[in-house]
Structure 1
Amino acid sequence: MTGPDGTERGDGTDGPETVSLGEFTFECGESIPELEIAYETYGDFTGDNAVLVCHALTGSAHVAGGRRRTDTAGQAHAWWDDIVGPGKAVDTTEYYVICANVPGSCYGSSGPPSTNPETGEPWGTDFPAVTVADWTRAQRRLLDHLGIPHLHAVIGGSVGGMNVLEWVKRHPDHVDRAISVAAAARLDPQCLALDAIAQRAITTDPNWSGGDYYGGDPPTGGLALARQIGHVMYLSKSSMADKFGRRSAGIDAGRDTFEMDPAAGFFPYREVESYLDYQGEKFAKRFDANSYLYLTRAMDNYDLASGYENDTDALAAFDGEALLLSFTGDWHFTVEQSEVLADAFRASGTDTAHHVIDSDHGHDAFLVEPDRVGPPVADFLEAGIRGKAVTDTDASEEGDEFAPVHTSLFSD
């Protein structure tokens, strides 16, 4: 795999590379002496084929190639392997793909668990507050280091889709095509409220110790609860009904994860509880509690219109094309929010397609339905909004309130 400088780089199977980008001043005004960014690249660079993939909240730079890797787990482990790779929607035989772990995370880039060079100890909560704008600036600096001045496309899902929007806003001349999947211009109050509860679950865990828990017992209980709240946000009512119903799990072993009240023994331990306990416990073993606080606050704070009169003004300098994907069962980032964003793009004069997928999977659909996400992404990367899988479902072309779903595009 050949990078912009002609050197051979990894293909994602050997783990991330880490580069020091020097002193970095965050949007909050605080600085660190060395910003380290973990990143992976895939494919060969030809000068005009670079695609930046922005990961979601707890993702990593390891976007693909997971079948030969064992050092990450859960969502961070090859989290879009069905979308990125040879012959896939983001075809690494055609595009040079870059994915970087964002500052504030715990998968190789500078963040609360990384070492403060002045003390030799983990930063903890002394690490500066991070924003989505900081992620974008760090990615731009990484691309400068790699010798990539311009992107064919930038793509991301969930808060990674917000990262995409910030690229369009902050570097409109550096991107030809933008793909924002299951995202919005800002969180709504309900999601802000749920994130606040998740954050409080961490900070009220006695082991959090004001964020200074490194070397001791981490706040795994609080982090597990925070992740459970997240999982409820990512699923839809119908998917939870189909997956769990009100069925009993048949065992009480999972109740050891959290202390239960005495009366609980009279009632069934339900499958939905067992699922949440398992997911929470697994997540608490792989992720850092402070990083979860930092990243959720960055997502909560994001507002596309910040510094501008409105969303349209924020997008006005962009001269490329935009594709928005949304899912009918997603109440975290709704179809309506995507359509508002699509209207802002159109009002700015941007050629825009909004592709709506009929799905019961909720917010997780962008990760678990590659057969539906892949076709419009592949067509848009190749042909922009003129791609068949894009224009056939484009609300602006059809005249519908939202883009209809053509299931024939995704049938076996």
Structure 2
Amino acid sequence: MTTRDTVDLGSFTFECGESTPSLEVAYETYGEFDGSNAVLVCHALTGSAHVARRPDAGDETAGQARAWWGDVVGPGKAIDTTEYYVVCANVPGSCYGTTGPSSENPDTGRPYGTDFPPVTVGDWTRAQRRLLDELGVGRLRAVVGGSVGGMNVLDWLRRYPDDVECAGAVATAPRLDPQCLALDAVARRAITSDPDWNGGHYYEVEDDGIKAGDGSLEAGPANGLARARQIGHIMYLSKASMDRKFGRRAAGREATRDGPTDPAGAFFPYREVESYLDYQAERFVDRFDANSYLYLTRAMDDFDLAAGYESDADALAAFEGDLLLLSFTGDWHFTVEQAEALAETCREAGIDVAHHVVDSDHGHDAFLVEPEKVGPPLSGLLEAGLQGRAITDTVERAESSPFAPVHTSLFSR
């Protein structure tokens, strides 16, 4: 049983103090609610509510080619929609159905553009809580998410600790490190320095007025958004995965460069890694809004779990459920060390936490492309908390490395 819908939550005041007269939230649900089996899944930076495959609507929803976690969420999957009532909501500021910069401002009849209020991860959490209230969901069996969606999970635990039984924060951290902050800043400047950005008011103008964007815009800072996405993809891959995928190989004769090169550049090869980045950028520009990219990366950069508290552990101290952290050895965006530091502070504070390290060279993308390694520990968490399928933060911890991988066979059925 699946549902795809949009709900108007009415007036919404953002943490910045600004408000909108209406906040529409696009969401999808899977399975049936029995009063105690609700699982909230939080999407990553450019994801949508389309987390699982929908047999009633094909597999193309919200401008995305496929469900972004369709191998983890669904009937018989790790987050089994025959057992759990799964909810995934698109976050405020995005362009996949929830109110954001490309939405029409009811006060003006024009797209908000950069007049849309700044958004935070906390705004996402508060909007999700209001959506769940509309759906009649009180306490969650679990809240689960990856990347900035994992930050969203951590914010749930500090903001609504009594509303969650257990949580899975995947490939995430309590805050971004300076290197990632710097790369995000360069990506945003690629957008805002594009002449077609026009201060954020670039939406298509038609003879009958201004048309609000829908994530598939023909106008706007396409070149800047393409460069921003390329920077993002470099962040999501590891050195090992890039070497395996591309090496230093030249692209085929049929490959064409994205944009002109300087005269001398034509002498040198157009490499496979460049072709990959150009391809990903072209696809992304066709489906995502540049202003939303600005807003969502700023929300991610701003997040700091300890803000307003003495420490990360203090921020989570009121949460009495189980917290499972998953990290990946090849991920330099959100590192194993960052996850372990959070786990250690939680242990010292007596918070029930386990840190499961996955041996992977896929980089940050591992949580999306290796469902066979992500799914089993999440399934165990949902079934029996941190005792599920021998989930532990001490299994196979080798003396040679404080972050030895936990072998995935321990979690197989």
Q: Fold-level match, TM-score > 0.5?
A: yes
- What's the CA shift for 1:259? 2.7
Aligned counterparts of 2:233 and 2:305: Cα–Cα separation in 1: 25
Aligned counterparts of 1:306 and 1:407: Cα–Cα separation in 2: 35
SS at match of 1:366: helix
Match of 1:395 in 2: 394
- What's the CA shift for 1:72? 3.7
* Aligned CA distance change for structure 1 residues 403 and 176 (closer, same or farther; 3 Å): farther
- What's the CA shift for 1:276? 0.1
Match of 1:249 in 2: 251
Match of 1:69 in 2: 59
Match of 2:409 in 1: 408
Aligned counterparts of 2:63 and 2:242: Cα–Cα separation in 1: 23
Match of 1:235 in 2: 237
Match of 2:305 in 1: 304
SS at match of 2:304: coil
SS at match of 1:37: strand
Note the alpha carbon deviations across 1:370-408, whole angstroms, 9 max, x for none.
0111111101110111112513xx238959733532143
The residue correspondences of 1:7-406 to structure 2 (distance < 5 A) are 11=2, 16-65=4-53, 68-74=58-64, 77-215=66-204, 217-251=219-253, 253-255=255-257, 257-391=258-392, 394-395=393-394, 401-402=402-403, 404-406=405-407
* Aligned CA distance change for structure 1 residues 254 and 229 (closer, same or farther; 3 Å): same
Aligned residue type for 1:239: S
Aligned counterparts of 1:73 and 1:117: Cα–Cα separation in 2: 24
Cα contact 1:182–1:333 (8 A) shared by 2: yes
Structure 1 runs (4+) greater than 4 angstroms displaced: 396-400
Aligned counterparts of 1:52 and 1:333: Cα–Cα separation in 2: 22
Uncovered stretches (5+) of structure 1, i.e. residues with no partner: 2-10
Aligned residue type for 1:300: D
- What's the CA shift for 1:347? 2.7
Paired positions, count: 396
Aligned counterparts of 1:233 and 1:119: Cα–Cα separation in 2: 38
Identity across the alignment (%):
70
SS at match of 2:252: coil
- What's the CA shift for 1:41? 0.4
Uncovered stretches (5+) of structure 2, i.e. residues with no partner: 206-218
Cα contact 1:355–1:403 (8 A) shared by 2: no
Cα contact 1:221–1:258 (8 A) shared by 2: no
Aligned counterparts of 1:268 and 1:252: Cα–Cα separation in 2: 13
Note the alpha carbon deviations across 1:95-131, whole angstroms, 9 max, x for none.
0000000000000000000110011111100000000
Aligned residue type for 1:197: V
SS at match of 2:169: strand
Aligned counterparts of 1:361 and 1:158: Cα–Cα separation in 2: 14
Match of 2:212 in 1: none
SS at match of 2:105: coil
* Aligned CA distance change for structure 1 residues 410 and 254 (closer, same or farther; 3 Å): farther
Cα contact 1:41–1:97 (8 A) shared by 2: yes
* TM score, norm. by length of structure 1: 0.93
* Aligned CA distance change for structure 1 residues 101 and 236 (closer, same or farther; 3 Å): same
Moved more, 397-406 or 132-141: 397-406
Cα contact 2:124–2:152 (8 A) shared by 1: yes
Cα contact 1:239–1:361 (8 A) shared by 2: yes
Aligned counterparts of 2:349 and 2:161: Cα–Cα separation in 1: 12
